[in-house]
Amino acid sequence: MAENFDYIIVGAGSSGCAVARRLSDNPASRVLLVESGGTNQSIFIKMAAGFAKIMGNPAYFWSFPVTPQPDRPLERHGYGKGLGGSSAVNGMWYLRGHPRDFDNWRAMGLPSWGWDDIAAAYKKIEDYRCAGADESRGTGGPLQITQSTYKSEVFDAIVAACNEQGVAWTDDICTPASSGVGRTQYTVDRRGKRASAYEAFLAPVRNRPNLKIMTDCTVKRILMDAGRAVAIECEVGGQSIRYCANREIILSAGVYRSPHLLMLSGIGPGAQLSELGIEVLQDLPAVGQNLCDHQKMGISFDLENHPGLNREFRGWRLARNALRYFATGTGPLARVGLPITAMVSSEGEPDWPDIQLAASPFAMRTVQEMAARPGSPISERPGITFAGFDLRPKGRGNVKLSSGDYRDAPLVDPRFWSDERDIAKARLLFGLLRRLAGASALSHYVGAERSPGAAVQCESEIMDALRRMTDPGLHGTGTCSMGVDHRNSVVGDDCRVHGVDGLRVVDCSIMPTPISGNTNAPAMAIGQRAAELIASGR
Q: Which residues have a catalytic role annotated?
A: 475
CB-hemisphere CA count at 13 Å for 4?
6
State how far Cα 524 lies from the chain centre. 10
Residues facing 233 on adjacent strands: 221, 242
Dist CA 73 CA 65 (whole Å): 12
State how far Cα 216 lies from the chain centre. 22
DSSP annotation of 483 reads -
State how far Cα 121 lies from the chain centre. 18
| CB-based contact 265:221 (threshold 8 Å) | yes
Residues in contact with 518: Cβ distance below 8 Å, sequence separation at least 6, in sequence order: 90, 91, 93, 94, 95, 356, 473, 475
Query: Whose CA is closest to 489, among 513, 463, 468, 525?
Result: 513
Max CA-CA distance within the chain? 72
| CB-based contact 260:410 (threshold 8 Å) | yes
40: alpha, beta or left? (left if phi > 0; alpha if psi -120 to 50): left
Dist CA 302 CA 188 (whole Å): 29
Dist CA 70 CA 185 (whole Å): 35
DSSP annotation of 291 reads B
Dist CA 383 CA 307 (whole Å): 9
Tell me what percent of the chain is helix, strand and coil, each rounded to the nearest 5. 30, 25, 45
| CB-based contact 487:285 (threshold 8 Å) | yes
Q: Is residue 219 part of an annotated ligand binding site?
A: yes
Q: What are phi and psi of 231, to 5 degrees?
A: -165, 165
Our CA dihedral for 74, 76, 77, 81, rounded to 10 degrees, sits at -170
Binding residues: 219
Binding residues for FAD: 219
